[in-house]
Structure 1
Amino acid sequence: MPTVPNQPETPAAPPILARLRAETRPYHDALEAGAFNEALRAGAPTAAGTAHFLERMYGFLQPYETALRQHEADFGPAWQLPQRFRAPLILEDLGRAATDSGLPLCPDMPPLHTRPQLLGAMYVLEGSTLGGQVITRQLEKAGIPLRRYFAGYGERTGPMWKAFCHLLTEAATSDTADEIVASAALTFQCLAAWINKP
């Protein structure tokens, strides 16, 4: 499954997006090497494996989204942050109450204290909405009940991704680009370690 797919190179790609694709590719590939992805590629996903993957994703998304909410004022309405909070969808998919999920949270999150750090993490987690489309098709083939989380933003997934890339390109400066790219790389690494943990 391309959990967080790198987008195809285009000659007109803005510098920050080109850097993010190129410099995070090894970490993106490592994230894809997990058991859940292997099961999807083999056409053999299971309900238990899907639930386990969702539990792990919640454990990462919940602290990430908490940090993003704390900095919501630094972004503004154009970013549509309330629509981008997806951890509650996982709780719905798993039939768990929002007030008492009982799910473990990732203990080794990347730093999410500055706007550039959050932008790097957003690149990774917004990109995962595109991979979710692939997973949905695989689950459907395997007869596994579909989950809302994997649907991304539904028909708006593409436009939401494009809007994010546009905003990220505008937000990145020569002073912040290195921090954004470093944060994205570290987010991939931390997420892979957490998702693929035995």
Structure 2
Amino acid sequence: MTDTGTDIDTSTSVGTVTQRLRSGTRAWHEALERAGFATAMLAGALPLDRYVGQLAAYRVVLEALEGELTRATCPSVTAVWSPDLVKLPLLERDLHHFAATQGALPEPGPAAEEFVGEIRRTAATEPRELLGFLYVLEGSTLGAMFLCRYVTEAYRLTDGNGASYYGSGDRTRWAAFAERLDRALGEPAVQKRVLAAAERAYRHIALISGELAAGLGAPAPEPV
């Protein structure tokens, strides 16, 4: 859900970092679209607790990522990170809605906690790589724009209640983010590291999706 540029050969330094990221993570992106969690959602067959489970998992992930990005002093990070990219309050609003209407919320699984651990380690060792994680998670909100109507219909959500996060995609915001990313990450060696981080982020999201799709009759996503 991160179709944001023109395909290029990622083994070269030609093109912007967002082009390299899009091309280099395409296999993960397509694998997630074919996976059980996504296909069940599109079919209107994803149990509500799995949808809420995803929100709960993303809450702890984004709490860690947004916190580390906000605290970062690395010039590349501060040039890209902006308060308009914050999504944590949207997830908390959705989870509050489901806590009020459904009762106890599902706890994030091991895959979400593993992602949080990697975010913490990356922030301590190479904070520029956090931008690879951000690229994937911000880009996923563009795909969520398409999925939002399936969510609202399947769970009979009204007035945005329970779908604040899925309804948060914004192409203008994405374009501004991509422009900042391209300006901040011009060095091919740095771009390569950020691409590797984006691939790791996709792997973590695939593990989260796999946990949430357990028992739905479909395998966890793997890149092709």
TM-score > 0.5 by shorter chain: yes
Name the structure 1 match of 2:27.
Answer: 26
Name the structure 1 match of 2:190.
Answer: 176
Name the structure 1 match of 2:180.
Answer: 167
Cα separation, 1, equivalents of 2:193 and 2:71? 19
Report the CA distance between 1:182 and its aligned residue: 0.5
Report the CA distance between 1:73 and its aligned residue: 6.4
Unaligned runs of 5+ in 2: 9-13, 100-104, 215-224
Residues 1:14 and 1:69: Cα distance change in structure 2 (over 3 Å): same
Residues 1:22 and 1:57: Cα distance change in structure 2 (over 3 Å): same
Asked if 1:42 is matched to 2:43, the reply is yes
Name the structure 2 match of 1:142.
Answer: 154
- Give 2:171's match in structure 1, choosing from 144, 153, 158: 158
Residues 1:196 and 1:190: Cα distance change in structure 2 (over 3 Å): same
Name the structure 1 match of 2:129.
Answer: 117
Residues 1:82 and 1:15: Cα distance change in structure 2 (over 3 Å): closer
Report the 3-state secondary structure (helix = DSSP H, G, I; strand = E; otherwise coil) of the residue aligned with 2:108. coil
Contact persistence 1:56–1:195 (CA under 8 A): no
Q: TM-score, normalised by structure 2?
A: 0.71
- Give 1:7's match in structure 2, choosing from 4, 22, 29: 4
Q: Which amino acid aligns with 1:134?
A: F
Q: TM-score, normalised by structure 1?
A: 0.79
Cα separation, 2, equivalents of 1:127 and 1:87? 15
Contact persistence 2:136–2:198 (CA under 8 A): yes
Name the structure 1 match of 2:199.
Answer: 185
Residue identity (%) = 26
Contact persistence 1:124–1:188 (CA under 8 A): yes
Cα separation, 2, equivalents of 1:10 and 1:30? 17
Unaligned runs of 5+ in 1: none
Report the CA distance between 1:44 and its aligned residue: 3.2
Residues 1:167 and 1:181: Cα distance change in structure 2 (over 3 Å): same
Larger Cα Rg: Structure 1 or Structure 2? 2
For residues 54-100 of structure 1, give each alpha carbon's deviation from its aligned partner in whole angstroms, at most 9, with x where no partner exists.
11222322222222122166444x6462221212211211116xxxx
Cα separation, 1, equivalents of 2:51 and 2:208? 15
Cα separation, 1, equivalents of 2:114 and 2:68? 14
Name the structure 2 match of 1:55.
Answer: 56
Residues 1:192 and 1:10: Cα distance change in structure 2 (over 3 Å): closer
RMSD: 2.8
Residues 1:133 and 1:54: Cα distance change in structure 2 (over 3 Å): same
Name the structure 1 match of 2:219.
Answer: none
Residues 1:79 and 1:126: Cα distance change in structure 2 (over 3 Å): same
Cα separation, 1, equivalents of 2:195 and 2:67? 21
